[in-house]
């Protein structure tokens, strides 16, 4: 018997995706005497249980996707049954009792996707049937008696059977609106009964072997027909009768052998969808462009070329989808892009497109553009205004003259404002042409109405004012309450939108610091320990809403309830924008106005219904749970298992939660990813649920602690011994294990009934995902995961729904056979447990955080730099665009700067990333950079300071020296840094700068390695004042460049990887000496060896290696100096060549003329 007494009030329940196979059907269902609808889809049932006969009020029954082989049982006793859906089972004709069709209320019957070979016996007795679905069976004939009695049918589906004809009695179905005959061998059938079906709205005859000869000639008599499907037939032309169906909206003629479409198609003025795909069409009629209602046009897989598309297709202003893939289109008419402004999907894939009209860029509503498999396609250039990098949207700068004058503090003259709009805008003109006449009529009407309204207002104003009368301005100061402004507070989480919008009485009770609306039946019944807010809404004399707000305080109410009732009464006034006062009412001393609000006398109830919002001191009770961790994509699945050592498996990670102790057990063969995810989950449980009071222990198999075994029931803490210990080394978990899919129910409460439908998840088929956005604060949900059943209470859910959810969860838990370690968990919105969150996809949004940033940077901008950047306003001084360019730095100035910076440089220590750690760079490689490497340079500068800063300099010097001496002597890096700490003179300030250089082809792993290893060592040695500068290739600053004295070489590839040609030979290396704006920016960069890049204003180095068996660097080096280069550049290029290729096996030659062109081809 039902333990809660709530089952008789259940009106409907959805058991989809539960396992009711092998007689697991819940016995308690027989107590649902009031149930009216029941869903048992995909439950594995093979028979009709006896308990179904007790559901005498059942009206709608669905048992789709099961293993039913017969319907004998209790279904015939359900006298109120109206709809029966048993599709996708294993039913045969003789397995369906004939007395089932004698039910007088049966109106809907679905027997599709079964094993029927003939129409079930007695089906003609179901005279009340409105919907009959017999599709996807093996029925060969329809008995003539069937349609004699079923004259009220509205929907008939006979598709995917073996029917060769229909009985003459079909013409008796005068009320039929939908007839589906798809995939039947009706070649010899003339369908002469169709003209009698005058109510027919939808007719589908796909793959029914229709030809011109057997097509019903009188089809045009079906004046109500709106949808016609004749696809997959053998029609050589469109039957003439079709052109007379004036009300037709959807016409499907794909997969025929059509060669042309008659111009008479213009008669189908209401046509919205036309499918002509997979035919033999070479052209579309011009009259097609007269179908102003056409929204979707499909002409895929035909023989259409540019001439076959009407040039006037732009007249189809309502067209949203145009699909013409797999044709022979070289171009599409410009009108398609100009006139079809509503176009959303354009499919032109697998054609011979050369280009597209420029107006393609003006289709602002376009959602999908498919141009695949058009190898010769060249997209037209975008208009200048639409190109990337133009306007406010890209630069975040308003370049208009008005704005720039305003920013400069000048007055904007009116002629400037008018001139801004005086010029012609060709893009705007194209947009107007593209819109066509779609909105002209409506715009003109709207404009006329506005002008007429303005004229009427002006006349009334003139008539109201007498001659010489002037409107006197009200100089009376505003009242104090008129000057008050509504505070910028969001009350949407406290009150609902309909509160105070309709006349009547609304009452809230204070619960956990927040107002909770109570039912109308509880109005006037106040608990002595509670506080309430009462709102009276009415209409004043002018018809406007007016409000009266009271807050009632019980004599025994706690302090938090008293305060919150007053606070939220004011919040309610602000939310409504009311001008009234909030009136305080105390128990036993209520005003007459307050008592008059209720129809009956006010009743006081002893005690309090809602608890106080303050914390109560009580010892929390924790239930010991053991979870097995499974991978579930980006998340993990926590599968509850018995709390026993026998549940442990060496191939998995287990999480043992005992409350204040959380153990993470790692099997010897468990995955590392699951280890880290399980540890992270334990951290979140401790942080969000245990307030960081729990201890987390990592237990490795065969190294478990005593506390771990005690938590599993071993009092001595020694764990299993002998044979039991061997059990831990054996895998017993099914490798094909799949978690039970969770089922989400929503509690729906009505007047005297309860319903438990399942929530429809987003996605389709196997892609359905459970997301937390489904949960609404007004509702209460039950999440059934078989071993865990969660009851989720929304913040705005009512008290009765919560109470009903608790009872229903208990009934649902006991209905299904579950193991002893299964349990019910109640979850409040905002305080969800981590196990509950793990059942949902993407509950906790992960923000990309750069862990290399400092704490000060994160505190200033936040963790998400992208969001911070969007909130910033770009400040730009456009005057700099009109300033004369700064003169280039002279060679003497560059030399002086380099000399000063190098004079301040005391020591520079170079490092390079090698095998995931930084090692010292060989001295001969200093100044040579590879594009695939990362380098670190530790520079120490001795800067002169004033006399008054000598004392501070000494202290800094001492701190730096002490930090350096306190480093780890065993560290190779620290040992090499000892030479950086000579005792500086008192008149010098020590500054340490670390330059991190990253090549273009190097990944970010080098930067992360430096941040978490070498940078920490440097900071421990030199303190927090260490400056770190990150430099990318060819973005180096002048000070860094000056330390290499012009010999800054950038090579392609990596240090220890010799590049080779596809033939396996050493490649020719070609270098270009260039400087940008200053001699300090001189770089020798390796480029592609091509003669076309030689320029008389630059110098080049060409290295041609010899073809030898070993990898010796032997060859010829050519130094090419242009005729217009300076003497300094010529000297520098020869020095670099000598230093780079200083080898007895290398021959150096200097050329001043183009004599090596054949070598660089």
HEC profile of 51-80 = HHHHCCCCCEEECCCCCCCCCCCCHHHCCC
Rounded Cα distance between 431 and 423, Å, is 16
pLDDT digits (tens, 9 = 90+) for 1044-1080: 988 999 999 998 887 777 777 788 899 999 988 788 8
Q: Average the pLDDT over each of 602-606, 719-723, 772-776, 1039-1043 and give the range with the smallest value.
A: 719-723
Q: Is the pLDDT of residue 969 over 70?
A: no
To the nearest 5 percent, what fractions of the chain are helix, strand and coil? 30, 20, 50
pLDDT for residue 750: 83
Q: Is the pLDDT of residue 1 over 80?
A: no
Sign of the C-alpha dihedral computed for residues 138, 144, 147 and 149 taken in this order:
negative
Q: What is the pLDDT of residues 977-1002, one digit of tens each?
A: 444 444 444 457 888 999 999 999 99
The pLDDT score that the predictor gives to residue 187 is 84
Both tokens of residue 475? 């100089």
Tell which residue, 295, 255, 302, has the closest CA to residue 281. 302
Q: What is the mean pLDDT of residues 90-102?
A: 91
Q: What is the mean pLDDT of residues 166-192?
A: 90
Question: In this predicted structure, what is the pLDDT of residue 480?
Answer: 60
Stretch 794-810: mean pLDDT:
90
Asked if pLDDT for residue 925 goes beyond 80, the answer is yes
497 vs 443, higher pLDDT: 497
The per-residue pLDDT for range 365-417, each reduced to its tens digit, is 899 999 999 999 999 887 765 555 454 555 556 666 667 666 665 666 655 44
> What was the pLDDT predicted at 616?
66
Residues 314-338: what's their mean pLDDT? Answer: 93
The predicted pLDDT at position 791 comes to 96
For 886-917, write each residue's pLDDT tens digit.
Answer: 778 888 888 999 999 999 999 999 999 998 88
Please report the pLDDT score of residue 463 as a whole number: 67
Ranges of beta strands (E only) in 644-740 are: 653-657, 661-666, 695-700
Euclidean distance between CA atoms 797 and 816, whole angstroms: 27
Structure tokens at 383: 């208009």
The CA-CA-CA angle for residues 1107, 1113, 1118, to 5°, reads 85
pLDDT for the residue 716: 86
Q: Which pLDDT band holds residue 972 (cuts at 50, 70, 90)?
A: very low
For CA atoms 312, 314, 316, 321, the dihedral sign is positive
The CA distance from 43 to 25, in Å, is: 9
CA-nearest of 296, 295, 286, 237 to 266 is 286
CB 756 within 8 A of CB 10: yes
CA distances from 1030 to 856, 861, 994, 997 (A): 18, 20, 8, 6
925-960 burial, b for 16+ CB within 10 Å, e for fewer?
Answer: eebbbbbbbbbbbbbbbbeeeeeeeeeebeebbeeb
Q: How many angstroms separate the CA atoms of 173 and 191, rounded?
A: 14
In the chain the domains, ranked by start, together with CATH numbers, are 91-209 (3.80.10.10), 218-383 (3.80.10.10), 504-605 (3.40.20.10), 625-727 (3.40.20.10), 740-837 (3.40.20.10), 892-1044 (3.40.20.10), 1058-1159 (3.40.20.10)
Q: Does residue 78 have a pLDDT over 70?
A: yes
Which of residues 796 and 882 earns the better pLDDT score? Answer: 796
pLDDT tens, residue by residue, 1079-1131 = 889 999 999 998 888 999 999 999 888 877 665 667 888 899 998 898 888 89
- Coil, strand, or helix at residue 1012? helix
865 versus 684: the higher-pLDDT residue is 684
Report how far residue 55's alpha carbon sits from residue 32's, in angstroms, rounded to the nearest whole number: 7
Contacts of 741 (CB under 8 A, 6+ apart): 17
Share of the chain above pLDDT 70, in %: 82
Does residue 469 have a pLDDT over 50? Answer: no
- Cα dihedral 478, 480, 483, 487 in deg (nearest 10): -170
pLDDT (0 to 100) of residue 2: 55
Q: Is the pLDDT of residue 1153 over 50?
A: no
Average pLDDT of span 939-955 = 62
d(CA 1094, CA 1097): 9
- Show Cβ contacts of residue 859 under 8 Å, excluding neighbours closer than 6 positions: none
pLDDT in tens, 491-528: 777 888 888 888 999 999 998 888 988 888 889 899 99
- Is 1118 in contact with 1102 (CB distance < 8 Å)? yes
Helix residue ranges per DSSP H, 401-547: 401-407, 414-420, 426-435, 440-464
Name the more confident of 851 and 273.
Answer: 273
Q: What was the pLDDT predicted at 458?
A: 76
* Comparison of pLDDT for 738 and 430, the residue scoring more: 738
Instruction: State the pLDDT at residue 293.
Output: 94
* pLDDT tier at 298, thresholds 50, 70, 90: very high
Instruction: Answer yes or no: is pLDDT of 1151 > 60.
Output: no
Contact 1091, 1116 (CB under 8 A): no
Q: Judge whether 235 and 211 are in contact, CB under 8 Å.
A: yes
What pLDDT is recorded for position 420? Answer: 45
CA dihedral 395, 397, 399, 402 (to 10 degrees): 170
pLDDT of residue 884: 75
**39 alpha-carbon distance from chain centroid:** 31
For residue 956, the surrounding DSSP H or E stretch is: helix 950-965
Instruction: Kindly write down the DSSP assignment for every residue of 1090-1113, as one continuous string.
Output: -GGG--TTSEEEEEEE---SS---
pLDDT tens digits along 836-865: 999 998 887 554 555 566 666 766 776 666
Residue 177 is predicted with a pLDDT of 95
User: Coil, strand, or helix at residue 784?
Assistant: strand
* Arithmetic mean of pLDDT over the chain: 84
Report how far residue 948's alpha carbon sits from residue 940's, in angstroms, rounded to the nearest whole number.
23
% residues pLDDT > 90 (the chain): 47
Residue ranges of alpha helices (H) inside 318-413 are 334-338, 392-395, 401-407
Query: What is the phi/psi pair of residue 478, to 5°?
Result: -70, 150
C-alpha 1121/C-alpha 1141 separation (Å) is 17
Predicted pLDDT of residue 976: 41
Phi-psi region of 1072 (alpha: psi -120 to 50; beta: other; left: phi over 0): beta
Is residue 442 pLDDT above 60, yes or no? no
Please choose, from the candidates 571, 565, 495, the residue with its C-alpha nearest in 3D space to the C-alpha of residue 532: 565
Here the tokens at position 21 are: 């196979």
pLDDT at 615: 67
pLDDT in the model for residue 964: 35
Q: How far apart are the C-alpha atoms of 435 and 342, rounded to whole Å?
A: 8
Which single residue is written with the structure tokens 């949407």? 492
Residues forming beta bridges with residue 1151, ordered by sequence position:
1120
Q: At a CB cut-off of 8 Å and minimum separation 6, what does 219 contact?
A: 194, 195, 225, 239, 241, 242, 245
Torsion sign, CA atoms 1148, 1153, 1159, 1160? positive
Count of all residues that appear for the chain in the document? 1161
DSSP labels for 881-925? GGSPPPPPPPHHHHHHHHHHHHHHEEEEEEEEEETTEEEEPPGGG
What pLDDT does 950 receive?
46
> What's the pLDDT tens digit per position in 11-51?
999 999 999 988 889 888 888 889 999 999 999 999 988 88
Report d(CA 354, CA 726) in Å as an integer.
72
In order, the DSSP letters of 217-265 are TTGGG-TT--EEE--SS--SS--GGGGG-TT--EEE--SS------GGG
CA 545 to chain centre: 42
Q: Which two tokens stand for residue 671?
A: 């995955």
């Amino acid at each position: 018997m039902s333990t809660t007494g709530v089952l008789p009030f259940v009106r409907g329940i959805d058991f989809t995706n539960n396992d009711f196979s092998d007689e697991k059907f819940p016995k308690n269902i027989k107590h649902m005497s009031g149930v009216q609808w029941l869903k048992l889809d995909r439950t594995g049932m093979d028979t009709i249980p006896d308990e179904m006969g007790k559901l005498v009020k059942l009206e709608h029954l669905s048992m789709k996707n099961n293993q039913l082989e017969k319907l004998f049982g209790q279904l015939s006793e359900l006298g109120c049954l109206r709809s029966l859906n048993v599709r996708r089972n294993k039913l045969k004709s003789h397995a369906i009792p004939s007395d089932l069709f004698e039910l007088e209320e049966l109106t809907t019957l679905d027997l599709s996707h079964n094993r029927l070979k003939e129409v079930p016996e007695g089906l003609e007795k179901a005279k009340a049937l409105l919907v009959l679905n017999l599709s996807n069976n093996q029925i060969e004939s329809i008995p003539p008696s069937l349609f004699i009695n079923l004259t009220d049918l509205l929907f008939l589906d006979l598709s995917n059977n073996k029917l060769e004809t229909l009985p003459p009695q079909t013409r008796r179905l005068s009320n039929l609106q939908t007839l589906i005959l798809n995939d039947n061998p009706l070649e010899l059938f003339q369908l002469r009964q169709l003209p009698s079906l005058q109510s027919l709205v939808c007719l589908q005859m796909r793959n029914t072997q229709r030809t011109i000869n057997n097509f019903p000639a009188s089809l045009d008599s079906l004046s109500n027909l709106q949808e016609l499907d004749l696809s997959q037939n053998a029609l050589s032309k469109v039957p003439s009768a079709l052109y007379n169906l004036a009300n037709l909206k959807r016409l499907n003629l794909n997969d025929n052998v059509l060669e042309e479409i008659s111009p008479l198609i213009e008669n189908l003025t209401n046509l919205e969808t036309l499918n002509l795909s997979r035919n033999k069409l070479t052209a579309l009629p011009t009259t097609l462009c007269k179908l102003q209602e056409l929204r979707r046009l499909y002409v895929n897989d035909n023989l259409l070329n540019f001439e076959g598309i009407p040039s006037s297709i732009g007249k189809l202003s309502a067209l949203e989808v145009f699909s013409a893939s797999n044709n022979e289109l070289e171009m599409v008419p410009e009108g398609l892009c100009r006139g079809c402004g509503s176009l959303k999907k354009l499919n032109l894939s697998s054609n011979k497109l050369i280009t597209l009209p420029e107006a393609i860029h003006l289709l602002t509503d376009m959602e999908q553009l498919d141009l695949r498999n058009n190898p010769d396609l060249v997209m037209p250039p975008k208009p200048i205004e639409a190109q990337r990098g133009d306007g406010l949207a890209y630069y975040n700068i308003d370049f208009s003259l008005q704005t720039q004058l305003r920013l400069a503090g000048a007055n904007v003259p009116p002629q400037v404002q008018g001139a801004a709009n005086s010029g012609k805008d060709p893009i705007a003109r194209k947009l107007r042409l593209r819109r066509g006449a779609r909105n002209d009529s409506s715009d003109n009407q709207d404009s006329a109405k506005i002008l007429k309204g303005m004229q009427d207002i002006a006349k009334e104003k003139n008539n109201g004012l007498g001659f010489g009368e002037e409107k006197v301005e009200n100089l009376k100061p505003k009242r104090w309450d008129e000057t008050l402004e509504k505070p910028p507070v969001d009350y949407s989480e406290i009150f609902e939108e309909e509160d105070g919008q309709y006349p009547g009485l609304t009452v809230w009770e204070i619960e956990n610091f927040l107002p909770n609306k109570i039912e109308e039946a509880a109005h006037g019944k106040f608990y002595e320990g509670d506080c309430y807010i009462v709102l009276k809404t009415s209409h004043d004399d002018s018809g406007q809403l007016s409000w009266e707000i009271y807050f009632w305080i019980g004599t025994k109410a706690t302090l938090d309830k008293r305060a919150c009732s007053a606070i939220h009464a004011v919040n309610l006034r602000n939310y409504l924008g009311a001008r009234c006062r909030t009136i305080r009412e105390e128990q036993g001393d209520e005003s007459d106005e307050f008592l008059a609000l209720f129809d009956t006398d006010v009743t006081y109830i002893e005690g309090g219904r809602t608890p106080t919002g303050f914390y109560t001191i009580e010892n929390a009770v924790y239930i010991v749970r053991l979870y097995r961790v499974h991978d579930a994509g980006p998340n993990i699945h926590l599968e509850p298992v018995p709390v026993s050592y026998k549940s442990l498996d060496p191939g998995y990670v287990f999480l043992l939660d005992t409350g204040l102790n959380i153990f993470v057990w790692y099997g010897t063969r468990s995955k590392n990813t699951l280890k880290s995810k399980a540890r992270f989950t334990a951290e979140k449980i401790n942080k969000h649920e245990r307030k960081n009071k729990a201890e987390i222990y990592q237990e490795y198999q065969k190294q478990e602690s005593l506390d771990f075994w005690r938590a599993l029931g071993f009092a001595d803490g020694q764990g299993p011994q002998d044979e039991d210990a061997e059990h831990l080394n054996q895998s017993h978990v099914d490798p094909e294990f799949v978690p039970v899919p969770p089922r989400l129910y929503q509690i729906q409460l009505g007047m005297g009934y309860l319903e438990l439908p399942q929530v429809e998840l987003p996605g389709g088929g196997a892609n359905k995902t459970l997301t937390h956005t489904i949960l609404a604060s007004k509702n209460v949900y039950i999440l059934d995961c078989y071993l865990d059943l969660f009851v989720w209470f929304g913040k705005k859910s009512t008290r009765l729904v919560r109470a009903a959810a608790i009872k229903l969860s208990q009934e649902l838990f006991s209905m299904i056979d579950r193991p002893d370690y299964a349990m019910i968990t109640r979850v409040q919105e905002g305080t969800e447990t981590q196990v509950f969150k793990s059942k949902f996809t993407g509950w906790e949004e992960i923000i990309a955080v750069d862990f290399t940033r400092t704490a000060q940077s994160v505190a200033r901008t936040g963790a998400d730099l992208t969001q911070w950047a969007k909130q910033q306003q770009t400040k730009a001084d456009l005057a700099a665009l009109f300033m004369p360019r700064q003169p280039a730095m002279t060679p003497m100035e560059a030399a002086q700067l380099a000399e000063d910076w190098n004079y301040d440089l005391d020591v520079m220590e170079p490092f390079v990333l090698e095998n995931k750690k930084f090692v010292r760079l060989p001295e001969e490689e200093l100044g040579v950079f590879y594009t695939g490497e990362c380098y670190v340079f530790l520079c120490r500068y001795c800067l002169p300071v004033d006399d008054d800063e000598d004392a501070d300099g000494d202290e800094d010097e001492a701190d730096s020296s002490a930090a350096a001496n306190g480093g780890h002597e065993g560290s190779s890096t620290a040992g090499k840094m000892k030479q950086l700490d000579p005792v500086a003179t008192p008149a010098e300030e020590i500054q340490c700068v670390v330059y991190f250089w990253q090549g273009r082809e190097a990944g970010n792993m080098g930067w992360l390695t430096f941040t978490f290893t070498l940078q920490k060592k440097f900071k421990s040695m030199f303190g927090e004042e260490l400056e770190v500068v990150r430099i990318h290739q060819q973005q180096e600053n002048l000070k860094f460049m000056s330390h290499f004295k012009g010999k800054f070489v950038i090579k392609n590839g990596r240090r220890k990887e010799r590049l080779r040609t596809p033939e396996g030979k050493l490649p020719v290396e070609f270098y270009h000496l260039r400087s940008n704006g200053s001699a300090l920016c001189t770089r020798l960069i390796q480029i592609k060896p091509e003669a076309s890049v030689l320029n008389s204003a630059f110098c080049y180095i060409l290295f041609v290696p010899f073809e030898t068996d070993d990898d010796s660097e032997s060859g010829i080096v050519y130094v090419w100096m242009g005729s217009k280069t300076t003497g300094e550049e010529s000297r520098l290029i020869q020095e670099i060549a000598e230093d780079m290729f200083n080898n007895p096996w290398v021959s150096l030659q200097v050329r001043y003329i183009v004599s090596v062109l054949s070598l660089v081809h």
